Amino acid sequence: MSDTRRRIALVEARRPLVVGFVATCLVALGVVSVLGNDTAQRRLVAPSASSIGPVGAESTSFTCGGMTEAPGSVAWGSLDLSNIGHTAVSATVVVVDDAGHRGSAEVVIPAEGSTFFDPGNLVAGGTWLGAIVEAHGGGVGVVEQIHGSGGVTSTPCGSLPSPRWYFAGASTANGQHYTVNLVNPTLTPSVVNVSFLSADGASAPSGSQGLVVPPHGVTTVAVQDLVAHAANLATVVHAFQGRIVAFATQDSPDPAGTAVTIGEPTLESSWVLARSIATPGAQVAMEVANPTPHAQTVVVHVRIPSGWLSPWSEVLAPYSTWQLPMAPSTRLPQTDTFAATLDATGPGVVAFTSVQIPGARTSGWALAPLTAPAVASAGTWVLPDLPGLRREGISLTNLGVTPVTLHVEAVTKTTAKTVEGLDGLRLDPRSFVVLTRPQLRALRSGSVLITADGSIATGETFDGSPAPGIISLNGLAASQG
Amino acid sequence: MESRAPAVVAVVVGAEPDGRIEAAVASLAAQDYADLSILVLVANTERAVLAERIAGIAPGAFVAELVEDRGFGAAINRSLEMVEGATFLLVCHDDVVLDPDAVHLMVEESFRSNAGIVTPKVVSMRDRSVLLHVGQGVDRFGTIVEKVQTDEIDQGQHDAVRDVFVAPGGATLIRADLLRSIGGYDERYLAMGDDLEMCWRARLAGARIVCAPQAVVAHEERLASQEHPLLTPEGEAQPPSLSRLYRRNEVRTLLICWGLVERILTLSLLVPLHLGEIIVAAIGGDHDRAVDIREAWRSAFRERKAIRSSRQRTRALRTMSDRDVRSLQVRGATRLRAFAVALLHQGFDSARGVLPHEQIIVSDDEAPELTASFGGAFSDDEGFDELDDLGRRGHRHTGRRRLSSVRSLTTLTIAALVLYLVGSRNLIGARLPMIGRLVDPGSWTHTWHMVFASWQPAGMGSGAPGHPGFMALGLLGTFTFGQMGAAVRLLLLGSIPVGAVGISRLLRPVASGRSRLLAAAAFGGLALGVNAIASGDLGAVVALGAMPFLLRRILRLCRVAPFDEPFASPVPLASRGWRSTLVGQIAGFSLLLTVTSAVAPATLVVVALSSLGIAVIGVIAEPKRAAAGQAKVWLGIAIAVILLAPLSLSAVLSGPSGLSVFGGAPGPWSTPGLGGLLRFAAGPSGHGFFAWFLPVAALVPLLVARQARLTLAVRLAGAAVVSLALGLVVARGGLADFAPDLLVCLAPVATAVAALAGLGLAAFESDLPKVDFGWRQVIALGGVTLALVGIIPIILDAGGGRWRMPSTGYSDSLRFLDGRNSLGHRILWVGDPRTIPGGSWSIEPGLAWSTSTDGLPDSSTLFAPASAVEGAAVTSALGQAMRGETIHLGQLLSPASIEAIVVTRATVPSAPGSQAGQAIAPPVGLIPSLEHQLDLIQTPSGGGVTVFEIGGSMPIVGTRPEPLSRRATTSSVSAVAGWSGLSTAEDGGSWPTGGTAPEGARSLYVGIAPAGDVKVVAGREPVAGRPAFGWASTFPVTPGQVAVSLDALPLNGLLAAAALSGWLGIMLCLVGRHRWLDWWWPAARRRHARLSIDPVDDDAGSDSGDLLVETSEGPFGDKAGEPAP
């Protein structure tokens, strides 16, 4: 037998081994293929509407809006610029109004400090204004504070323009005015459709379709002119070209007050209310909207210091809204601070909390978005201080299922940053903690920096209005880059 | 009694006194013709001795000695001077024997038909029943057409007097006055064609030429059988071959005998025919034929004066128009027709003359007894004719032979080619869209400039050597006469058919024709080829086309059965047979790998891994020979790496980033998993259920094949499995920066699948008949069926005419970026590496970047250098944007002169309603992070791309009044503001550039890397620069003329020249000294002729397992094409 024939005979004899080897390889590759299946892109973590850029960033920006222009007007506002970095950061503030006027100024935000800026002084001749803050560095957070004739309220400025914005909890009933302000901080013109959800269903008035927001421009939508006499009104803003930041200003004659809030850029299936207070005389409600074509079941769990309340549940029809009155209610003891979670079974809802003080002469209305998961998982938060207001309380809420260790410190240049009991604080699952007044005093005035090794929601309220809780802020998520 | 018959002088021209002449003279002496004289003309012999011998046979014969043997025609012309008073001359060779009545029958016919020339019926001397000639015809190209078939038996079927065009040599009766009037024979014809030329002139003079078949002459044809040596033409060192002499005389005759109009027409037809014949000869390795044709034209050119003189003499005796002459000739091109018929009936090798014409031998028990059947004439059964005398159906075994005949296989092959052409019809003539590597190929000179240039414009600029891909394209462009578009098209569309041929050659030793055809069809039917074409991935297409040849070379080097013959014995470098030696085999493998890897560098990796796969599975199948030949393969790979020095050196020097030369990492989210890879669904094709059929069919030979088919199948499976594993890891993003082109990774898999599909059929044909019927037959039949059905989707794809390639590319949808006044700026392209036109550099899986200068990408960025010099100027800024660390990306990119960012989101731009490309999204955060930038303007740009424009970016070369601070960074608004481009007057912004610095200009910025190579001359003085932004440079200037140039040592050019020399050197060695040296250097050819020649042919079977049989018959040749001596 020749060598070739012998070799061929050997291969034939080993055919089962060969077939087995090939089959094994294919199976192994199949396993690798399945185990290594990362074909779906990691879902982009929904950006927080208001987050503080990394301290080492080259530049960051914030867009503010919903403010009125003339001093003493209903939503006259100012900007609170905080810097958690160790070096001062310069910033350019460009102020634009709905009449096309424009002005700019340079400000310097001191290291581990804050500064204030009145944008309304830079332009005149329009009604509504927006401000674009371009910080030449990171670690800066910007919050706008409204202190006009409508009272005091506050909302964070937007750090990321987005093509979609959602609002809930507005009203055009009883002579109330509701204005959506669209600010375009980019150089790309935006074209925007604004539609509304109410008890009467969805509507897309022609007057709010195809709105052009020019680069560095402001466009407003007077909702009461389009959807009159509607309560529990939700708003959907969709920019099909370009990106914008949307604010809503609720001006109410009764109870008298003005509320300004930034919108939520995404729908989420879970939300966290970090801190609220069942203030006697105040009406606290959770405002939920379902701007999707799917019916969703929404469940709200409320946690008070002593334990959990029985949950609320509601099935939200497609393109519908729901207002959940939380306080006063038989379930929630008055004066209690409470936290809450909202879970939806579908693609997501948008949730705000509203506070109304019937009969108030000023500051009788407040609106604030709940905390989104992206913010809760940030790891670092900043609770800014507001000038002229006293911090009434800070809540740290862990409504997850694992304990979280966190550190609370003051953003200050002094060496005594930490406070006893707040460094290495352990927060049990499904619980929240309210910082005591001595602890708040120890933190002094100024921003508070909170770091945690898990997801928590942070919120603060300020005193200085008819009711505690009418001015509340969620913690600003900070990047750790 | 005085004879009244006209006098005939028989002139016998003898070359050697070898005894044959005596037989000829004896036959003449025995003629019954009354007035026949015999004149014997001899040369190179003793006249007296011969005269004495002749006298004994024919006492009246006259023997004359020629002073010099200058051929038959010259001898006859000499006889004209010697003979007076004869009416006819009977010109005879010395190897003929005439029947006793031949002369008088020819004379009678001459008078009866009024013929000037009479030719007899010529039969074979060896077997007088075999016909040789009954006169000859000719076509317009001078190709002789025989009136009889080869070895045709004389049964009286040609015994009618007829007009012929040529009286073939041997014994021809010519009226003496006619011969004198036309000037006798042309003495420049030593043999082969002299009769044609003489007869043609006789026709022009109005003479009639007839064949008198009653006159019979036996002819030995010693000249045609090469028993008789040819004379050496004047001025040449050695006698030419018969075929060469014939070709030479053929062309010469045309030039002499045709009038002006017909000559032009005939030559215009003949030139393409000859070119085609040369191509066929080149494909078939028939070097001699190509040389014959070339020499025919060279000879005609060399003797142009003599030809002109002959033509003038011919014109003087013309009484017949060319049109009338044409009517006497055979229509069409005889040689081409013969080639086509042979190709159709007997295949290419027979058609080109390598194989003898096929003779189907049927064993006795298979052959039907088909004798004359009376019943058949009356049968209503259409198949009655197939019944033999015993009532058996004659073609009862046709099932086994179905689609196995040469004719049917040829027909199917042609059908497949036609289908491919139909499927490619809209890509052949139409403009190719700008996608993948199908950017504007530029000019041939620019391509070579890129090879030798010291600076590459890709990215921010680079001093890296030119990519070898340019060298490969430049070489190909040379063969397309500088038409680079045609070269690219040739690569894109020609590679798949070439690969199909490679598959056929891979299986040739172990598979039948139809198995190989099935394998080739499966190769073309796999989705990988369509996907590679559709995405414009030139590299993948080339790698796919070359992979069958590369695998075959690997198997040969590893001596895996059936490629396990010993290598040929060592011979001197580049001599005959060198290609079959071990060194030649390694060199051939290296060169093929080099050229392929130049266009698709990932081929290096894939081939190396395929070789490993062959060894790994060898551990199981043949443990003792598992690694045999691996060293040779790796040596070949190492040589290829050296030959790719311009690329490999720069890649090594670039460190880890140099790995990007093999390809950019695709996004795992947009690549298929194992199932998709097995179906080759890495593009628009291969996603259907049918795409599973071929991979499944490929498993069959592993189960049922035997003999060498099994060993081949096993090794191919090994290569496929390892390549598949590599592809899967790349697709899953598991190798970070090292990500060879996914389609190239799949090329060995496709090759193996196609080959295994063919081996399945081969096993069914050859292995299974030897075993009892059982599951094997069922599986094999199922496999064949699956393979056949698996091809259907590609057949359907052919309907579109462009293999799913879109019609609109980036040059259409982004035209607005190309034509505007933006000279001196760059466009940044960002996206998945598969979607970026031209070359790119990887940033992370699914994200790569490149730049184009002054508009859309062109050939300059077709291949990216190994690493992006100063690429951080772009990537760090992009990273900052994606991490949310900047809202001023436009400002950060401004020093890089980026004026627009194009984010590609699909393989092609989409056009609603007409075109939708395969969506390949970049990392999800990319576009939002760009949308967040406050200084970018998003531009409406159609589907598939997102375009952001940057206003006021710095020009590549610009000036401003304020000097640039030494500590300026991109974050400084003041640093990047205020720059304006030079006012370029004459060159419109081309590079190197220059222009006028405007009034007030104090600082010049040059955004080109490497900054050290930038030289600036302001006015007439060179100025010293300093770094800007860490990578660019700035120079102090004053208003006025400024010239910016690059100054670097021409090391790149030297390296490219060395690499090119290596390529060409190996190429010439493989072609063989005996071919290229002889071809171009006749003196060397003559020297070479004196050397002993190794009879082993280069492509002998040890190389490929091919058949060793070769014949001297030519490609188009058959008996009809060869003249009688």
Q: Please provide residue B626's backbone torsions phi and psi, each rounded to the nearest 5 degrees.
A: -60, -45
Concatenated DSSP letters of B989-1018: T-SSEEEEEPTT--EEEE--SSGGGEEEEE
Show which of residues 56-95 on chain A sit within 8 Å of chain B, judged by CB atoms.
56-61
Name the closest residue on chain B to residue A16, using Cα atoms. Answer: B703
Given a cut of 70, is residue B1100 above it in pLDDT?
no
Of B188-197, B553-562, B891-900, the least confident: B188-197
Q: Is residue B984 very low, low, confident or very high in pLDDT (cuts 50, 70, 90)?
A: low
Between residues B60 and A469, the one the model is more confident about: B60
Lowest mean pLDDT among B297-306, B419-428, B989-998: B989-998
Is pLDDT larger for residue B229 or for residue B845? B845
Q: Which residues of A touch B673 (CB under 8 A)?
A: 33-34, 37, 39
A184 and chain B in contact, CB less than 8 A: no
- B695 chain-A contacts, CB cut-off 8 A: none
Q: Chain B: nearest CA to A395, how far in angstroms?
A: 28
- Flag the least confident range among A165-169, B317-321, B377-381, B981-985: B377-381
Cβ distance B674 to A53 less than 8 Å, yes or no, reads: no
At residue B374, does pLDDT exceed 70? no
Contact criterion met (CB < 8 Å) for A38 and B938: no
Given an 8 Å threshold on Cβ–Cβ distance, is B673 in contact with A33?
Answer: yes
B617 contacts in chain A (CB < 8 Å): 18, 21-22
What pLDDT does B72 receive? Answer: 87
Q: How confident is the model at residue B1085 (pLDDT cuts 50, 70, 90)?
A: low
Query: What mean pLDDT comes out for the span B448-464?
Result: 89
At A217 the three-state DSSP class reads strand
- Give the largest CA-CA distance in chain B: 130
Contact B728 A33 (CB under 8 A): yes
Q: What is the pLDDT of residues B662-697, one digit of tens each?
A: 988 888 888 889 999 999 999 888 888 999 999 999
pLDDT band per the 50, 70, 90 thresholds, residue B594: very high
CA closest to B924 among chain A residues: A44
Closest of B246, B242, B237, B244 to residue B226, by C-alpha = B242
How many angstroms separate the CA atoms of B730 and B732, rounded? 5
Residue A298 has pLDDT above 80, yes or no: yes
What's the mean pLDDT in B171-200?
Answer: 90
B360 pLDDT tier (thresholds 50, 70, 90) = very low
CB-CB under 8 Å, B707 with A8 = yes
The average pLDDT across A141-170 equals 92
Query: Do you find a cis peptide bond into A328, omega within 30 degrees of 0?
Result: yes
Residues B495 and B504: their CA atoms lie apart, in Å, by: 14
Chain A interface mutation, best of B887, B927, B970, highest count of A Cβ atoms under 10 Å: B887
Tokens of B503: 């598959």
Q: Can you spell out the DSSP letters for B24-38?
A: HHHHHHT---SSEEE
- Search chain A and give the residue with CA nearest B702: A19
Q: Which of B721, B883, B921 sits opposite A22 (nearest CB)?
A: B721
Average pLDDT for residues B1071-1097, to the nearest whole number?
A: 56
Q: What is the pLDDT of residue B989?
A: 45
Question: Best of A33, A51, A191 to disrupt the B interface by mutation (most B CBs within 10 Å)?
Answer: A33
Q: Which residue has the higher pLDDT, B101 or B379?
A: B101
Integer Cα distance of B359 and B108 in angstroms: 43
* Residues whose CB falls within 8 Å of the CB of residue B299, separated by 6 or more in sequence, listed in order: B248, B251, B252
**Taking residues B428-433, what's their average pLDDT?**
86
Q: Is the CB of A9 inside 8 Å of chain B's CB atoms?
A: no
User: Using the beta-carbon criterion (under 8 Å), do A58 and B971 form an inter-chain contact?
Assistant: yes
Say if residue B980's pLDDT is above 90.
no
Instruction: Reply yes or no on whether the pLDDT at B116 is more than 50.
Output: yes
Whether the CB of B771 is below 8 Å from some CB of chain A: the reply is: no
Q: What's A208's DSSP letter?
A: G
- Name which of B820, B801, B818 is nearest B810 in CA terms: B818
Residue A39 is predicted with a pLDDT of 55
Q: Name which of B915, B1005, B525, B960 is nearest B750 in CA terms.
A: B525
Pair B803, B424: CB distance under 8 Å: yes
**B363 has a pLDDT exceeding 50:** no
pLDDT category at B3 given cuts 50, 70, 90 is low
Q: Calculate mean pLDDT across residues B1078-1084.
A: 58
Please name the member of A40, A160, A188 whose beta carbon is closest to the beta carbon of B937.
A188
- Torsion on CA atoms B409, B413, B416, B418, rounded to nearest 10: -130
Pull the structure tokens for residue B810.
């980036």
Average of per-residue pLDDT across A105-115: 93
Query: Residue B563's closest chain A neighbor by CA?
Result: A4
Q: Residue B539: what are its φ and ψ, rounded to 5°?
A: -60, -45
A273: pLDDT confidence band, cut at 50, 70 and 90? very high
Per the DSSP assignment, residues forming a β-bridge with A246 are: A182
- Asked whether residue B650 carries a pLDDT value surpassing 70, the answer given is yes
Best B722, B920, B934, B941 residue to mutate vs chain A (most A CBs within 10 Å): B934
**Confidence label for B1117 from pLDDT (cuts 50, 70 and 90):** very low
Which spans in B424-537 are helix H?
Answer: 425-428, 444-452, 468-479, 484-507, 513-525, 527-534
User: Strand A51-52 vs strand A190-198: parallel, antiparallel, or unpaired?
Assistant: unpaired
Residue A63's closest chain B neighbor by CA? B934
Interface test mutation site (partner B, options A27, A39, A479, max chain B beta carbons within 10 A): A39
Question: What pLDDT is recorded for position B692?
Answer: 93
Check CB contact under 8 Å for B880 and A58: yes
At residue B1083, does pLDDT exceed 70? no
Whole-angstrom distance, CA of residue B964 vs CA of residue B1025: 11
State pTM to two decimals: 0.72
pLDDT score for A142: 95
pLDDT of residue B346: 62
The structure tokens listed for A275 are 């801190």
User: Is A160 near chain B, with CB under 8 Å?
Assistant: yes
Nearest to A78 by CA among A120, A134, A108: A120
| B445 pLDDT more than 90 | yes
pLDDT at B390 over 50: no
Residue B182 scores a pLDDT above 50: yes
Mutation target for B interface from A2, A3, A6, A8: give the one with most B CBs within 10 A: A8
B99 in A contact zone (CB under 8 Å): no
* pLDDT at residue A345 is higher than 80: yes
Average pLDDT, chain B: 83
A99 close contact with B: CB closer than 8 A: no
Q: What is the pLDDT of residue B632?
A: 95
Cβ within 8 Å, pair A243-B931:
yes
Q: Which of A358-362, A449-453, B908-912 has the lowest mean pLDDT?
A: B908-912
Q: Which of A121-125, B156-160, B163-167 has the highest mean pLDDT?
A: B163-167
pLDDT band at B1097 (very low <50, low <70, confident <90, very high): very low
Model pLDDT, residue A38:
62
Q: How far apart are the first and last CA of chain B?
A: 40
Element (H, E) at B138: strand B136-138
Tens digit of each residue's pLDDT (9 = 90 or more) over B277-290: 888 887 777 788 88
- Taking alpha carbons only, the member of B863, B839, B857 closest to residue B849 is B839
A241 and chain B in contact, CB less than 8 A: yes
Residue range B102-127: average pLDDT?
92
Measured CA distances, A437 to A200, A393, A441, A465, B288 (Å): 46, 8, 6, 18, 106
Q: Among partner residues A12, A30, A36, which is closest to B732 by beta-carbon distance?
A: A36
> Quick one: pLDDT band at residue B633, thresholds 50, 70, 90?
very high
Name the minimum distance, in Å, from the CA of B284 to any CA of chain A. Answer: 30
